[in-house]
């Protein structure tokens, strides 16, 4: 944990708030019901197989770590929020996946230099406040010649736009924090990794989300299940006017990103992400 590295009281408070935010709602449901294929896509892109030593950074409930373990890899799933790790353990047990779950700060990983063959993160490290610190730590614990693998929501995606929309309603970010969707901008990630990587492969792709029949249903699902959205609504709870405004804006955002199928699903969306892999120099 970062606290062991002599972090300040302010930093510990930031981490505590971050941990508590992700414990809100039901992220296990979000990962399983909306983006179940995302982690497997990252595992495949990284070429993970039997015997690969893998670290999943900001693993959440194991959306990528569990597919890696099922592929035969030796996996550590690390996350700041123990509640997410506990939920992931239950999922892994149900699937017969064996892996290690470790509470850890993405900006201060408790592993030695060059420990892992593959260091990956699936819509996880993007939420650590200091992007360079997160990138530096992923690179540090990856062996020379190893693989860095990332899936992150793009700024133009539904999730990227949602974070931009929620920002005026959210508490002020901690000093030095950068917007999470910047991790979905290829040039930003290339700058973070710099000359410490080679053979960078980056492409945009999309995950189909067709669980919802109306924009309002999607909005209410996020209000109930997704920690960052819950935290924003709690921040404005004493202002009915702002709550109503955010309700409208989120529904309109969903409507703008949706295709209305006319079928039983009613509404389908394509959430864009950046898939980037690179070789550690």
CATH of the domain at 182: 3.40.50.150
**In-domain check, residue 253:** no
The dihedrals phi and psi of 69, each to the nearest 5 degrees, come to: -65, -40
Interval 206-220: pLDDT, tens: 999 999 999 999 999
Q: How far apart are CA 25 and CA 243, in angstroms?
A: 18
Q: Above 90 in pLDDT, residue 5?
A: no
In total, how many domains does the chain have?
Answer: 1
**In-domain check, residue 257:** no
Alpha helices in 101-239 (DSSP H): 131-141, 158-166, 186-193, 215-225, 227-235
Provide mean pLDDT across the span 130-142. Answer: 98
Q: In terms of DSSP bridges, do strands 258-260 and 100-103 run parallel, antiparallel, or are they unpaired?
A: unpaired
Please tell me the predicted confidence (pLDDT) of residue 10: 82
**In-domain check, residue 243:** no
Interval 195-208: pLDDT, tens: 999 999 999 999 99
Alpha helices in 35-144 (DSSP H): 38-46, 65-70, 82-95, 131-141
What is the number of other CB atoms lying within 10 angstroms of the CB of residue 138? 25
Question: pLDDT-derived band of residue 4, with 50, 70 and 90 as boundaries?
Answer: very low
Interval 14-37: pLDDT, tens: 999 999 999 999 999 999 999 999
Q: How far apart are CA 236 and CA 156, in angstroms?
A: 25
**In-domain check, residue 225:** no
Q: In terms of DSSP bridges, do strands 258-260 and 267-280 run parallel, antiparallel, or are they unpaired?
A: antiparallel
**In-domain check, residue 76:** yes
Q: Please choose, from the candidates 276, 281, 279, the residue with its C-alpha nearest in 3D space to the C-alpha of residue 45.
A: 276
Query: Per the structure block, which two tokens stand in for 204?
Result: 């945009």
Q: Identify the domain containing residue 9 by its residue range.
A: 2-210+269-280
**In-domain check, residue 27:** yes
Handedness of CA 97, 102, 106, 110 (dihedral sign): negative
Query: Per the structure block, which two tokens stand in for 27?
Result: 């992220």
Q: Above 50 in pLDDT, residue 2?
A: no
| Helical (H) or strand (E) element with 34 | helix 27-34
**Cβ atoms of residues 204 and 139 within 8 Å:** no
Q: Above 90 in pLDDT, residue 143?
A: yes
- pTM comes to 0.95
**In-domain check, residue 227:** no
Interval 238-249: pLDDT, tens: 999 999 999 999
Residues ≥6 apart with Cβ < 8 Å to 27: 60, 61, 84, 87, 225, 226, 227
**In-domain check, residue 37:** yes
**Cβ atoms of residues 131 and 183 within 8 Å:** yes
Q: Above 80 in pLDDT, residue 102?
A: yes
Interval 256-269: pLDDT, tens: 999 876 555 579 99
The residue assigned the tokens 């920690």 is 227
Instruction: For the chain, give the percent of residues with pLDDT over 70.
Output: 96
Q: Above 50 in pLDDT, residue 253?
A: yes
């Amino acid at each position: 944990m970062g606290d062991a590295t002599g972090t300040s009281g302010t930093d510990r408070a930031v981490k505590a708030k971050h941990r508590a935010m992700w414990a809100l709602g039901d992220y296990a449901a979000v990962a399983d019901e909306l983006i179940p294929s995302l982690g497997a896509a990252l595992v495949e892109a990284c070429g993970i197989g039997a015997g690969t030593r893998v670290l999943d950074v900001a693993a959440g409930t194991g959306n990528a770590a569990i597919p890696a373990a099922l592929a035969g890899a030796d996996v550590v799933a690390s996350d700041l929020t123990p509640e997410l790790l506990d939920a992931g353990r239950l999922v892994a047990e149900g699937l017969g996946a064996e892996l290690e779950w470790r509470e850890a700060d993405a900006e201060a990983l408790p592993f030695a230099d060059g420990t892992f063959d593959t260091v990956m993160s699936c819509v996880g490290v993007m939420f650590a406040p200091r992007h360079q610190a997160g990138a530096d730590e992923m690179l540090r614990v990856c062996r020379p010649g190893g693989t860095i693998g990332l899936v992150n929501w793009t700024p133009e995606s539904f999730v990227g736009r949602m974070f931009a929309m929620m920002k005026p309603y959210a508490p002020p970010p901690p000093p030095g924090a950068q917007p999470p969707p910047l991790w979905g901008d290829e040039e930003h990630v290339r700058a973070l990794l710099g000359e410490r990587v080679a053979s960078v492969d980056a492409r945009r792709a999309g995950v189909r989300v067709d669980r919802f029949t109306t924009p309002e249903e999607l909005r209410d699902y996020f209000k109930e299940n997704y920690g960052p959205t819950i935290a924003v609504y709690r921040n404005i709870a004493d202002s009915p006017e702002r709550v109503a405004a955010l309700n409208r804006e989120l529904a309109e955002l969903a409507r703008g990103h949706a295709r209305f199928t006319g079928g039983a699903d009613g509404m389908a969306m394509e959430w864009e992400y950046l898939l980037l892999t690179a070789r550690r120099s």
